[in-house]
Amino acid sequence: MSQHPAESETSRAGLLFGITCYTLWGVFPLYFVQLDFAPALEIVAHRIIWSLLLCLGLLAVTGRLREFTAALRNPRQLGALALAALLIGCNWLVYVYATNSGQVLQASLGYFINPLLTIMLGVLVLRERLRPVQWLAVSIGVVAIVIIAVGQGHPPWLALALAFSFGFYGLTKKYAGRTVGPIPSLTVETLVLAPLALGVLAWLTSHGQSHFTVHGSTSALLLMSTGIATTIPLITFAAAARRLPLSTLGMLQYIGPSLQFMIAVMIEHEPMSPSRWFGFTLIWVALLLVTVDAIRAQHRRRKHAASAARAAQPMCEEPV
């Protein structure tokens, strides 16, 4: 059955938005390496402050400040978003440190692991039941991590920190409810982190260790641009999520870590030992299994829904 022209246009727009956001996230290592004149903590502090200012501006322009203030007045939502803020703050800090210390492969691995971790969180926290293929994929992922850990002599701590912080961030956002949009939500999260960020920047300035103007206007503009780098991918992601099926969005999410992997190997020339190649290959196999299983499961649900809809239709009477 062919798509209605309007639906087809919506899908094409959603695909464009999805590719845009995941590509931007994928090339972030090339962006953050331009900020290596400043330590990771200072970069994240600037990211918080400029993201907050930009989000407040966007809310004012779009007339959605009421949604932001409503979230602040809701204790359940505010508590969940405050916890989410701490998790995403840790995620940003680890990611910036990884990219600026020449460990982009660990960043890539972390976001490859994340979908598998999300599946396990669904089992352990939300009491979801896994299909056999999902269990197999998670098991392969665990074996891959063990192989990488044995090969390099220690667990991939940065990758695990990225995967766990972002995995629990997504889980916390789920508990925050679906009534808060992405921009109001990010505004609350950056507002929660703003006092810490201002404290860091004030301390660095008072001790003569601020890098905001270390290279004149160039460094200042680069640090200010972290607000744009944070919000633009989020906006395009939200636009994609409204227009695309979850299975399509799930497949697009591998664009980001794949680009990071290519940047690490082809541009940063990080060493790829045999154990790393084997471990990454197993991760890719596990993700392929998860993706194919998700597509098949969605196809089965659609067939069952279509069958139920046909069964619910009243039978036409035979002509007399």
Closest CA to 112 of 314, 260, 319, 317: 260
pLDDT tens digits, residue range 247-294?
677 778 889 999 999 999 999 889 999 999 999 999 999 988 888 887
pLDDT above 70 covers a percentage of the chain that reads 92
pLDDT tens digits, residue range 178-231?
667 888 888 999 999 999 999 999 999 999 999 999 989 999 999 999 999 999
CA distance 236 to 16: 9
Alpha helices in the chain (DSSP H): 5-26, 28-32, 40-62, 65-73, 75-100, 104-124, 132-152, 157-175, 182-206, 217-224, 226-243, 246-252, 255-262, 274-312
pLDDT at 235 over 80: yes
Q: What pLDDT, on the 0 to 100 scale, is given for residue 296? A: 82
3-state secondary structure 234-250: HHHHHHHHHHCCHHHHH
pLDDT at 114 over 80: yes
Paired tokens of 16: 């464009």
Closest CA to 286 of 167, 138, 145, 129: 138
CA distance 268 to 29: 10
Q: What pLDDT, on the 0 to 100 scale, is given for residue 247? A: 62
Q: What is the mean pLDDT of the chain?
A: 87
Amino acid at residue number 98: A
Is residue 226 within 8 A of residue 51, CB to CB? The reply is yes
**DSSP 8-state assignment for residue 35:** G
Is residue 162 within 8 A of residue 110, CB to CB? The reply is yes
Long-range contacts of 271-276 (CB under 8 A, 24+ apart): 272/105, 273/151, 273/152, 274/151, 275/147, 275/148, 275/150, 275/151, 275/152, 276/105, 276/148, 276/151, 276/152
- Please provide the distance, in angstroms rounded to a whole number, between the alpha carbons at the two ends of the chain: 33
Q: What pLDDT, on the 0 to 100 scale, is given for residue 10? A: 67
pLDDT tens digits, residue range 171-192?
887 776 566 788 888 899 999 9
Paired tokens of 96: 């910036």
Specify the pTM. 0.85
Cβ atoms within 10 Å of 294's Cβ, excluding its own:
18
